[in-house]
Amino acid sequence: MQRDRGVPATAGGAGERKRIGEAMDRSSPSTSWGFSGGHERDRIAAGKQPEVPRSGGGSTAMSKGKLSDGESDTDSEESDLSGSDGEDTSWISWFCSLRGNEFFCEVDDDYIQDDFNLCGLSGQVPYYEYALDLILDVESSHGDMFTEEQNELVESAAEMLYGLIHVRYILTSKGLAAMLDKYKNYDFGRCPRVHCSGQPCLPVGQSDIPRSSNVKIYCPKCEDLYYPRSKYQSNIDGAYFGTTFPHLFLMTYPHLKPQKPSQEYIPRVFGFKLHKP
């Protein structure tokens, strides 16, 4: 829950030296960030906060914390490999920058802090309060009471909660403006249909119920749905964009709605059109 994912070094005791020795033996550039198993239980029993990996959108778990001065050189190398996001990076910015999350825009903190905008979400998301604190980067004292498995559940709940907030935000004026910038940058991809001539698309869900279907892209020109080209984007829940967004977007910005394609593919055999029964 806390953003400082660093592991403080404590002095004294053969048990502590053994703990550090095990960490150095088990650490390597190819391992995932943090420790697990019995070693993690030893850390919790010693009163230390368990490391919480951040994962989402098909991306490998990441750690955003800074390391303490007393850690081993091996752990420092792992931190360098995991990225130097720094304390200035918010959870929302980090989440939206993950590979596969390019369709998401950054929701304003003011919008999330307004309880009216979150009405009804507490009953849909487990660990709601903890997930909300994580999204808003609120320091919490409950992180050291959770097991590693519970911390992972909070991370997953935060991603789900952000998606459900996101689908509401993109229907507001600020949200539509944020998605307009992404639309102009072709962040949602282009229509694969030849006669649409690379028309920019918009994300859409086939259902407003979470976990019903994955996100698709909607072409305003041919008015049809397609799968995103990236397999990472294809795994995003369609309910995080909803069934309303692309159509409200084009109503808000009518000058962006293109003319329907005038060309149509005509199948031929030896130059002759096929007879339709």
Give the pLDDT mean for 151-177: 96
Which residues, including other chains, have CB under 8 Å from residue 42's CB and lie 6 or more apart? 19
**Residue 143 CB-half CA count within 13 A:** 21
Instruction: Order the strands of the 224-226 sheet from edge to edge.
Output: 202-204, 216-219, 224-226
Digit-coded pLDDT (tens) for 62-83: 334 433 444 444 444 443 434 4
Percent of the chain exceeding pLDDT 70 equals 67
**Whole-angstrom Cα distance, residue 154 to residue 1?**
8
Q: Which pLDDT does position 52 carry in this prediction?
A: 44
| pLDDT at res. 36 | 40
Q: How far separated are the first and last CA of the chain, in Å rounded?
A: 65
Most confident by average pLDDT, 4-8, 90-94, 260-264: 90-94
Q: Which residues of 164-185 are buried (b: 16+ CB within 10 A; e: fewer)?
A: bbbbbbbeeeebbebbeebbee
